[in-house]
Chain A
């Protein structure tokens, strides 16, 4: 375990574990235009933190339960045809506000709110690593198992029905995976930047991919680069680590967009 004694090694492993799950799931978030959905689920997590601390249970469990509740609520409301962007905007930010207020009620516990809002990847311990990799593996297995059905349902719900796939069930799979990723990511990048880890690597990978699988793999590679580079940068310049990772991912996205604008236009 000598390797894991190094906080930098633990932080890198934590980031890579998150990327492994968040990048492929993020592709679905991008393809299905669920960015706000991810935001709402992530922001609800702070409420989960407050509840977990109030009832003295594990933060991971509290976040998972509340994120699941939020994800299922949004998911079922979207099937009823509400105006989604407004509704998600309301839910996402009110969940965050209620969470922050709930945390302030906690007495006797000193809560480092910043750690939950922006993550505290450098403080990741070995038990955290186990949780992160366990959750990430679960998400990967889920996505691997349902991959084809998920893609078909993403393309067109009726196409899925005709092939004997229930798109509502596939949406539940994504909902579950999303809640898991949020619970895994809270320690790494915090509730405010989880959506970034979902969307930015996937969007960066898009110009270089010809099939969904290649896009997912490229997103993992780009996310991993952002994690490793962001960690180094934050050590070098003493910047907050989670935001540094997201900044690097955003820079990679910009470069990828420029590359597409320069070289992509040649073939229509």
Chain B
């Protein structure tokens, strides 16, 4: 993979965003609501046209995409197995392998609408894996999962990365979990505020300015749980640590 370079100009939500991702890397984009995180991902998959600048990626790059939320209308009957056949039919064996890899092995015959949140996300992941992606893109894939659920999900992502050697680009709100699971963190607020290794970003002043001391506290809690407390702001620290 030659990497991605994204530049969106004009009065759009993203201003002169430059960044790249290499194969085998797990990069997480964090940022407040409306900071353009999803827009950045949608630019990469081609769902939004950049006003200026360009997205360049390796020719024929295979992208696996796990959307933020997938609402399946209740009037649309859809088994998990049939869902995996979209848009291209796949062999039963490939489907079984992908489901196993995503930890959703037993769900093949179930209706999509009857799945729990965690099962649903695993099926979405399985579908994204079917194309043997070189770049796996996840947009807040753990929304609606409880903390053990999302921790298990990120564990799964890391396993998939190790197994396939693909790059992983994800957006998340769950800073404490994400920070631990990523190789690199990009802090976005219309532009790239700061980026680097999780520890580096967590201590960057731009990051603290964006997320305030509350989330900073949560990070500190995560990193230094045993000898750190934030008495000056207990509510925030508590809320973010949940």
Q: Which residues of A contact B (CB under 8 A)?
A: 30-33, 148-149, 151-152, 154-165, 202-203, 206, 209-212, 214-215, 268
Contact = CB atoms under 8 A, between A and B. Distances in A.
B86 interface: yes
A152 B87 contact: yes
B67 interface: yes
Interface string B79-100: 1001101111100000000000
A162 B45 contact: yes
28 contacts: A30-B75, A31-B73, A148-B85, A148-B89, A151-B86, A151-B87, A154-B76, A155-B86, A156-B70, A158-B42, A158-B47, A158-B67, A159-B65, A159-B70, A160-B87, A161-B47, A161-B65, A162-B47, A163-B65, A163-B131, A164-B46, A203-B75, A210-B111, A211-B77, A211-B78, A212-B78, A214-B77, A215-B76
Contacts of A203: 75
Given A151-B86, A159-B65, A203-B75, 9 more contacts: A148-B85, A148-B86, A152-B86, A155-B70, A158-B45, A161-B45, A206-B75, A214-B77, A215-B77
A162 B137 contact: yes
B3 interface: no
B114 interface: yes
Interface of B: 42, 45-47, 63-65, 67, 70-73, 75-79, 82-83, 85-89, 111, 114, 131, 137, 139
Given A162-B45, A162-B65, A212 B82 contact: yes
Secondary structure of the A contact surface, majority rule:
helix
A151 B76 CA distance: 10
The 10 closest A-B pairs by CB, nearest first: A162-B65, A161-B47, A162-B45, A152-B87, A209-B77, A31-B76, A148-B87, A211-B82, A152-B86, A30-B75
B131 to A, nearest CB: 8
Contacts of A159: 65, 67, 70, 86
Which of A32, A148, A163, A215 has the most chain B CB atoms closer than 10 A to its own CB?
Answer: A163
A28 to B, nearest CB: 10
Nearest to B127: A159
Contacts of A214: 77
A156 B120 CA distance: 14
